[in-house]
Amino acid sequence: MSEQALLPRLASLLGALRRTAHLMVGLPDYDAYVAHCTTAHPGAPVMSRAAFVAERQEKRYAAKAGGAPRCC
């Protein structure tokens, strides 16, 4: 396999590992959220990265403190 063919595959693998590591420690994936919003809800406002992270953290810790149960 040539080096030029290997580099994109390596970058893809590193990106997948990064996303997996973030999910393992509870960091939400903002890029996936934006992609979902733009395809599933075109024209709807998209939260900023800071608002997205704050909202996800609030949901995470509210559920642990006896708040609403999480489905996933």
Q: At what angle do helices 49-64 and 30-40 cross, to 10 degrees?
A: 110
Indicate the number of domains in the chain: 1
Q: Judge contact between 44 and 54, C-beta under 8 A.
A: no
Q: Is residue 36 part of a domain?
A: yes
Q: Is residue 71 part of a domain?
A: no
* Amino acid identity, position 9: R
Round to whole Å and give the CA distance between 13 and 60: 28
DSSP code, position 2: -
Mean pLDDT by 10 residues, the chain (72 residues): 86 91 82 92 94 87 62 52
Closest Cα to residue 33, out of 18, 45, 17, 15?
A: 45
Element (H, E) at 60: helix 49-64
Per-residue pLDDT, 2: 79
Q: Is residue 12 part of a domain?
A: yes
Q: Is residue 19 part of a domain?
A: yes
In this structure, the number of other CB atoms found within 10 A of the CB of residue 34 comes to 14
| Domain region containing 27 | 3-64
